[in-house]
């Protein structure tokens, strides 16, 4: 499975083994998603959100910064003692084939993919357990669908590009409005060959 879709705005293209290895840690994945949804944040606040100590979070933020996924940003509060962090992009993308020429590359790509999929699955199952607590409007609005299509690789790539265009349109809509009742909504898109 390739994690690279068509080039998208503000998506970091993972091109080195160091970058890929930085994504291969569950805490770092949770930090990236928390920063994308709520950033900029301090290590202390992130620690509360991901249930880790500020020292552990600071270490992982430095690793993400060394790999170009996170960076320190302006301190909104003006308190020089606090360090604020944000992501450098809205997401990341890579192709496993870019790392298939070495055993370390294959291992790192597999590990990063596993961590990412585990994070996504945990968010989905958490929603499944807590859907009713969001109230009737969100319980009705949340959705899940699966379809079995008969496509070739180029058709699958075209489908991916089209769906991502729709998601980007809604990302822009959400960024430009402060609608009452709005919250972070995770949209998971996967398309892959399978044997049934």
For the chain, the structural domain boundaries read: 11-133
Least confident piece of the model among 40-49, 52-61, 97-106, 178-187: 178-187
Q: What is the CA radius of gyration of the chain?
A: 18
Residues 31-41, mean pLDDT to the nearest whole number: 92
139 pLDDT more than 70:
yes
Q: Are 122 and 35 in contact (CB under 8 A)?
A: no
Between CA 65 and CA 83 the distance in angstroms is 13
Backbone angles phi, psi at 180, to 5 degrees: -65, 135
57 pLDDT more than 70:
yes
Least confident piece of the model among 125-129, 149-153, 181-185: 181-185
CATH class in words for 11-133: mainly alpha
The token pair that represents 4 in the structure block: 């690279």
Condensed to tens digits (0 to 9), the pLDDT of residues 108-129 reads 999 999 999 999 999 999 999 9
Q: Are 97 and 4 in contact (CB under 8 A)?
A: no
The token pair that represents 73 in the structure block: 């940003």
5 or 21, greater pLDDT: 21
Query: In the 8-state DSSP scheme, what is residue 133?
Result: G
């Amino acid at each position: 499975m390739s994690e690279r879709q068509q080039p998208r705005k503000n998506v970091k293209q993972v091109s080195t083994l160091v970058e890929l290895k930085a994504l291969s840690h569950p805490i770092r994945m949770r930090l990236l998603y928390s920063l994308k949804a709520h950033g900029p944040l301090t290590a202390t606040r992130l620690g509360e959100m991901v249930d880790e100590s500020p020292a552990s979070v600071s270490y992982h933020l430095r690793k993400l910064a060394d790999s170009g996924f996170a960076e320190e940003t302006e301190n909104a509060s003006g308190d020089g003692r606090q360090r604020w962090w944000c992501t450098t992009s809205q997401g990341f993308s890579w192709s496993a084939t870019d790392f298939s020429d070495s055993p370390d590359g294959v291992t790192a790509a597999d590990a990063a993919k596993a961590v990412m999929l585990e994070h996504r699955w945990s968010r989905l199952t958490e929603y499944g357990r807590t859907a009713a607590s969001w109230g009737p409007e969100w319980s009705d609005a949340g959705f899940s669908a699966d379809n079995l299509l008969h496509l070739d690789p180029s058709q699958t790539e075209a489908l991916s590009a089209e769906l991502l265009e729709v998601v980007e349109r809604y990302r822009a809509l959400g960024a430009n409005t402060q609608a009452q009742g709005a919250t972070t909504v995770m949209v998971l898109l996967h398309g892959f060959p399978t044997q049934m």
